[in-house]
């Protein structure tokens, strides 16, 4: 329990801190005044003033805020600040950059975490190993067996499962020459102690711990992909060229140097960002059901689970949550950063701000929507716990 509490505090606190730090750093970079920098909402537990800014730790740990001087046109300036430091009197493009800096900071944090993961642990590659076959599928008819490894397709080397899927998709249904590596296990017989033994080719045979010799052979088969329907990760049906094989789930960790890890981390961050954005789109399209939306309780459960399983998993989860936080804040909901960005863009395009009354009603509607989503997520979290406990049936 203590490990979970510490992990949740560090992960969520760190993500919120970086988000607010983005707003703070850009605002100060433009010379705007910041009266308060707070982690959390509500009553302040700890606070200290450095310069003109009060830094605080507040009671409710579900977010944070940076109180900019003059956020509203008619707001009074705090003592010690001047009109030149007022946020609302700055050009729309400066205000846009300040607002966008929070989500961007979350993306940068995710990249830094993926960089650390790639440098410290390497990046996982799913091996092109056959774990199972579809009965009477193209691969099964060609003689592919479970345990085979795909070495090349039409002469192109296959390094990982992604290479293989791309090659199959690019075939457009044409027959492919697939080179396989097939393992064999041959029982070895111990020779007399005084008999000289010629060494075996290490590329062909290795000795297993049970005394058997593991040998591999290369063979080439012709496979003609067939158009079939498969499920996406979102549960949708899609048509694709398939050969009817499943992977073993085995991975290799690819090591990187310092700067190579930065590039690999950027690639992983990009993949996370694309998947997260697509998830939001599928949620709006109702492809992903609303009961899959999770809230703070689910996040705390996931963080606690990864904290007990190892640092690598915890860092990867923190990166994913950071990406989700950044994308969520970019949604065009007025109470979020994305809504404020829309208001700034309107002002930049039409040379006048959005009507104050329109902004007020939009903020109220956005707040109502956000509260509704939070209640839905919390309800889903509690319902999952109740079902898992088996209070309403088996929970299966």
Whether the Cβ atoms of residue 35 and residue 51 lie closer than 8 Å to each other: no
Helices vs strands, H then E, count in the chain? 9, 13
Token digits of residue 47: 């606070």
Model pLDDT, residue 81: 87
Q: CA nearest 322: which of 21, 99, 67?
A: 21
- Give mean pLDDT, residues 325-335: 91
Distance separating alpha carbons of residues 69 and 76, to the nearest angstrom: 9
Predicted local confidence at residue 29, as pLDDT: 95
Per-residue pLDDT band for 389 (boundaries 50, 70, 90) equals low
Average pLDDT over residues 225-253: 89
Give residues with Cβ within 8 angstroms of 353, minimum separation 6: 92, 343, 346, 347, 359
- The pLDDT confidence band at residue 187, using thresholds 50, 70 and 90, is low
Mean pLDDT of 11-33: 93
What does the DSSP 8-state code read for residue 392?
Answer: T
Of 178, 130, 183, 131, residue with least CA distance to 157 = 178
Q: Report which of 101, 122, 78, 82 is spatially closest to residue 337, judged by C-alpha positions.
A: 101
Contact 93, 344 (CB under 8 A): yes
Place 308 in a pLDDT band, splitting at 50, 70 and 90.
Answer: confident
pLDDT at 211 exceeding the cut of 60: no
% of the chain exceeding 90 in pLDDT: 55
Residue 200 scores a pLDDT above 90: no
pLDDT band at 38 (very low <50, low <70, confident <90, very high): very high
Q: In this model, does residue 321 exceed pLDDT 50?
A: yes
Which of the four pLDDT bands, split at 50, 70 and 90, describes residue 212? Answer: low
User: Do residues 12 and 318 make contact, with C-beta atoms less than 8 angstroms apart?
Assistant: no
Does residue 197 register a pLDDT over 70?
Answer: no
Mean pLDDT across the chain: 86
C-beta separation of 71 from 26 below 8 A: no
Confidence of residue 117 (pLDDT cuts 50, 70, 90): very high
Nearest alpha-carbon partner for 216 in 176, 179, 247, 245: 179
Closest CA to 175 of 123, 224, 127: 224
pLDDT recorded at residue 395: 45
Give Dmax over CA atoms of the chain in angstroms: 99
- Using 50, 70 and 90 to split pLDDT, how confident is the model at 214? low
pLDDT at 46 over 70: yes
b/e 187-217 (16+ beta carbons within 10 angstroms → b): eeeeeeeeeeeeeeeeeeeeeeeeeeeeeee
Q: What is the pLDDT of residues 257-275, one digit of tens each?
A: 999 999 999 999 999 999 9
What confidence score (pLDDT) does residue 26 get?
Answer: 96
Per-residue model confidence as pLDDT tens digits over 153-173 = 999 999 999 999 999 999 998
């Amino acid at each position: 329990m203590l490990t979970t509490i510490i992990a949740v505090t560090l992960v969520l606190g760190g993500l919120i801190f970086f988000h607010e730090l983005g707003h703070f750093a850009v605002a100060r970079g433009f010379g705007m005044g910041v009266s308060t920098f707070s982690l959390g909402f509500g009553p302040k537990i700890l606070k200290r003033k450095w310069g003109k800014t009060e830094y605080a730790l507040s009671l409710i740990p579900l977010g944070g805020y940076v109180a900019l001087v003059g956020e509203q046109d008619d707001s009074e300036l705090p003592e010690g600040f001047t009109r030149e430091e007022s946020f609302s009197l700055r050009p729309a493009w400066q205000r846009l950059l300040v607002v966008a800096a929070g989500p961007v900071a979350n993306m940068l944090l995710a990249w830094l975490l993926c960089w650390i993961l790639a440098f410290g642990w390497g990046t996982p590659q799913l091996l092109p190993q056959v774990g199972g076959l579809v009965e009477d599928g193209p691969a099964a008819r060609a003689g592919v067996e479970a345990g085979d490894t795909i070495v090349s397709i039409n002469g192109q080397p296959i390094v990982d499962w992604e290479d293989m899927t791309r090659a199959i998709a690019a075939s457009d249904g044409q027959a492919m020459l697939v080179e396989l590596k097939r393992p064999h296990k041959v029982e070895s017989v111990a020779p007399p102690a005084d008999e000289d033994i010629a060494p075996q080719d290490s590329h062909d045979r290795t000795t297993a711990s049970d005394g058997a010799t593991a040998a591999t052979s290369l063979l080439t088969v012709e496979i003609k992909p067939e158009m079939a329907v498969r499920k996406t990760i979102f549960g949708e049906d899609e048509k694709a060229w398939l050969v009817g094989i499943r992977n073993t789930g085995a991975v290799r960790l690819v090591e990187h140097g310092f700067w190579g890890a930065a590039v690999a981390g950027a690639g992983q961050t990009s993949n996370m960002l694309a998947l997260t954005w697509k998830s939001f789109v599928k949620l709006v399209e109702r492809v992903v059901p609303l009961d899959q939306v999770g809230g703070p309780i689910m996040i705390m459960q996931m963080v606690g689970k990864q904290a007990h399983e190892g640092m690598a998993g915890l860092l990867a989860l923190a990166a994913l949550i950071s990406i989700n936080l950044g994308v969520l804040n970019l949604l065009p909901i007025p109470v979020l950063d994305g809504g404020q960005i829309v208001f700034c863009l309107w002002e930049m395009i039409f040379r006048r701000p959005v009507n104050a009354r329109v902004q007020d009603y939009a903020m109220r509607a956005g707040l109502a929507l956000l509260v509704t989503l939070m209640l839905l997520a919390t309800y889903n979290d509690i319902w999952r716990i109740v079902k898992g406990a088996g209070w309403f049936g088996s929970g299966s």
